[in-house]
Amino acid sequence: MGIMLSKEDDKNANLSRRIDADLRSKMEASAKMENGEIDAVEDSEYTKDLKKTGKFAWVPLVIIVVGVIMLVVAGLLK
């Protein structure tokens, strides 16, 4: 019985430490953002390998809009 309680206490202590570390890191990050030390957009890891949008990216949008207009006009002419 005492062993089971000891294991549960260990699990709770481990969980408490993880939550504490997570909250501490979030608090430090928010403090850096408030002080202007980091820019969340420019400093993000996911933005490093992104490419800029090409000059013909508008073509699929125009095709979709023209298709929708054609469907609406075809439905009105019936």
User: Any idea where the domains of the chain sit in the sequence?
Assistant: 2-77
pLDDT at 4: 62
Count Cα atoms within 13 angstroms, Cβ side, for 8.
5
Q: Is the model's pLDDT at 2 over the cut of 60?
A: no
Inter-residue contact 42 to 50 (CB < 8 Å): no
Over residues 21-78, the pLDDT tens digits come to: 999 988 888 877 776 666 656 556 766 777 888 889 999 999 999 999 999 999 888 7
pTM attached to this predicted model? 0.39
Whether 12 shows a pLDDT value over 70: the answer reads yes
